[in-house]
Amino acid sequence: MNPPSPSIVLVTGAAHRLGREIALTLARAGWGIAIHYGQSEVAAETLASEIREIGAPAAAFGCDLADEAAVGQLTARVVEHFGRLDAVVNNAGLFEYDDAATFSGANLQAHLGPNLVAPIILARDLAQHLQARGGEARGAVVNLLDQKLWNYNPDFLSYSLTKAAMAAATTMLAQALAPTVRVVGVAPGLTLPSHLQSQEAFERTHALSPLGRSSRPQDVAEAVHFALRNPAITGTTLLIDGGQHLIGFHRDFSLMQD
């Protein structure tokens, strides 16, 4: 008798940074990994090789998350390759600066595709796939949010608006897709330096929390794993930030240079 196929999780934006840590953590826990990437094909293929060396199945899938039609085909591509899909981690997202003075509809539209539309489509398509499998097939979606939704500041306005909408969608999708799919948010604090932040500024702001440090990549990855494997959690968000949401910040971390 052949051993059962491992559960497969699609991790968006998995080639680098936090997505890579999530993919490796889940692979070590026995998941097969569908590695989504936008432009980082070489890094995604390298990660797939690393995961296969761990002993877990892995494959890389390129897709522009701003292209709704392409996103609508991604689940089918993953299922065609692995024969199944059991979970989605919506990690990828656009994070470009604007504020009230520089806001434009075009910039908001640019954030909406990868940060909101694509995650909803992938959650819907996972539910449809699981329902087509029949029986008691169940799955989960984890949406990466942001602690700033519990600690607002006016920076990164378009990004923040789309993450706020994704938090609301997490609740509504949990209602709409139950009992087939659970939907859980994971909201990190400052975890890695942004493109606007020096290493020194990162270390200083990372320490601004009641626990003396914010989230580290492994903290977030372990929270994602917990959310995927706990069958009683849905429609809520885990804040993984060392308590940073309890402190009022008047600017985004990446702009707190002084």
- Tell me: pLDDT of 1 over 70: no
Please tell me what DSSP assigns to residue 226: H
Residue 83: give its domain's CATH number. Answer: 3.40.50.720
Query: pLDDT tens digit string along 187-224?
Result: 999 888 877 777 887 788 888 888 998 899 999 999 99
**HSE (side-chain half, CA atoms, 13 Å) at 25:** 21
Instruction: Give the model's pLDDT for residue 205.
Output: 80
Q: Which two tokens stand for residue 161?
A: 């608006």
Beta bridge partners of 255: none
Cβ distance 181 to 126 under 8 Å? yes
Query: pLDDT tens digit string along 26-49?
Result: 999 999 999 999 999 999 999 999
Beta bridge partners of 59: 34
Instruction: Give the model's pLDDT for residue 2.
Output: 43
Q: For residues 192-225, b (16+ Cβ closer than 10 Å) or e, as one string?
A: bbbeebeeebbeebbebbeeebbbbbebbbbbbb
Give the chain's domain count.
1
End-to-end CA distance of the chain: 63
Q: How confident is the model at residue 4 (pLDDT cuts 50, 70, 90)?
A: low
Burial class of 178 by CB neighbour count within 10 A (0 to 12, 13 to 18, 19+): middle
In-domain check, residue 173: yes
Backbone angles phi, psi at 214, to 5 degrees: -90, -160
The pTM score is 0.94
In-domain check, residue 245: no
In-domain check, residue 63: yes
Cis peptide bond upstream of 57, omega within 30:
no
Give the separation between CA 154 and CA 134, rounded to whole angstroms.
46
Distances in Å between the alpha carbon of 147 and those of 33, 140, 160?
A: 26, 21, 10
What is the span of the domain harbouring residue 134?
8-188+214-240
In-domain check, residue 208: no
Which of 192, 241, 245 is CA-nearest to residue 21? 192
In-domain check, residue 135: yes
In-domain check, residue 201: no
Cβ distance 182 to 233 under 8 Å? yes
Query: pLDDT tens digit string along 59-97?
Result: 999 999 999 999 999 999 999 999 999 999 999 999 999
In-domain check, residue 196: no
Q: Is 231 helix (H, G, I), strand (E, B) or coil?
A: coil
In-domain check, residue 91: yes
Which of 225, 203, 193 is CA-nearest to residue 16? 193
Calculate what percentage of the chain has a pLDDT beyond 90: 82
**Which residues, including other chains, have CB under 8 Å from residue 53's CB and lie 6 or more apart?**
none
